[in-house]
Amino acid sequence: MEIVHTPVLLEETLQLLAPRQPGELMIDATVGEGGHSYAFLSRFPDLRLIGIDADREIQEIAKKRLRVFGERVHWYTGWSHDFFADSFCEKPDTILIDLGVSRYHYEKGERGFSFLRDEVLDMRIDRTKGLAAAELIAGLSEKELADLLYTYGEERYARRIARSITEAKSRGRISRSGTLADIVARALPLRYRGSIHPATRTFQALRIAVNGELTHLPELLERALEVLKPGGRVGVITFHSLEDRIVKHFFREKGKDYTSPQEQPIYEYKRRGKSVNVLYRKGITPGALEIRNNPSSRSARLRIAEKVVGEDGCLHGEEMR
């Protein structure tokens, strides 16, 4: 069993999401190859864990890696937002959501995640559902494609790239990652060749669209907070500004107190207290040593919120007096 992914912000995550009572339950909502889970289970011998992943292949790697922990580990194959929608017999004390795509998918998945390899252009985490990247490209108009690249990739040359892809589509289906990378590279001016590959943002945008990463993120955060035990903590690791912005705003809103206007009738008056306390409002980023040892960690940011006891804060009946 070869492990290719290095978990980011590992020590920070272990410290800030450490169990505070014996026998706590943790959910690793994006278990990947099991790097974070292995570290938590090793350091905290009373911890129990549920590992979730939509990719059966990578979950099998995690199962083999974590089988040494026996009955302390249980598994769910599917998307985390679907898992959290089910009823819970036991609320978790801790939830970890690592939104990064595992290095396994780029180096071993053979699904076209990397612009450095010539593979089938798929990009689906769960290959049993949804459209592959090649099918998505085939069905989009030039304008739709440009909007996608600009929105999800923040690509300044989105229109130019979309035009080149559309012209290439007229000559035949774009079904390989290498072909797409070449089309994008030729579409951009030479001066655009900076520190990243010219196809980086295009591949990011397609991956996000194919897997619905930003579409499902607010739902995932909402449902995770709902099932989390009062006093428990949720940690989210992001890797680009689009998803980090969603997480930051979600925690910020859940950390506010809201009160109904004074002119409302007393029987309609409700006060909703804040749902979370946000730890480290700017988030936590990797140090220089981690970035040097693992360059892919450079854009990572960890945000943590602690669920407030009595989260609804509503006043009813005698409480209103």
Q: What is the pLDDT of residue 162?
A: 98
Q: How far apart are CA 293 and CA 314, in angstroms?
A: 49
Q: What is the mean pLDDT of the chain?
A: 89
Quick one: average pLDDT of 8-25?
96
Domain membership flag for residue 4 = no
Q: Please, is 45 exposed, middle or buried when counting C-beta atoms within 10 Å of its C-beta (0-12, 13-18, 19+)? A: exposed
pTM of the predicted model over 0.75: yes
Instruction: Provide the b/e sequence for 221-247 (b: ≥16 CB within 10 Å).
Output: bebbbebbbeebbbbbbbbbebbbebb
**What's the pLDDT tens digit per position in 112-168?**
999 999 999 999 999 898 999 999 999 999 999 999 999 999 999 999 999 999 999
Tell me the CATH number at 248: 3.40.50.150
Q: How far apart are CA 62 and CA 53, in angstroms?
A: 10
Q: What is the pLDDT of residue 88?
A: 73
Is residue 237 domain-shared with residue 201, that is, in the same domain?
no
- Cα 6 off chain centre by: 16
Tell me the CATH number at 187: 1.10.150.170
Domain membership flag for residue 140 = yes
Is residue 66 domain-shared with residue 90, that is, in the same domain?
yes
Phi, psi (rounded to 5 degrees) for 224: -65, -45
Domain boundary, last residue among 152, 177, 211: 211
- The residue segments making up the domain with residue 168 are 110-211
Q: What is the pLDDT of residue 87?
A: 67
**What's the pLDDT tens digit per position in 214-242?**
999 999 999 999 999 999 999 999 999 99
Domain membership flag for residue 121 = yes
Counting residues of the chain whose pLDDT is more than 70, the rounded percentage is 89
Structure-block tokens of residue 171: 């000559």
Q: Are 206 and 123 in contact (CB under 8 A)?
A: yes
Q: What is the pLDDT of residue 189?
A: 82
Domain membership flag for residue 183 = yes
Q: Which amino acid is at 226?
A: E
Domain membership flag for residue 1 = no
Q: What angle is formed at CA 128 by the lines to CA 126 and CA 133, rounded to 5 degrees?
A: 65
Domain membership flag for residue 273 = yes
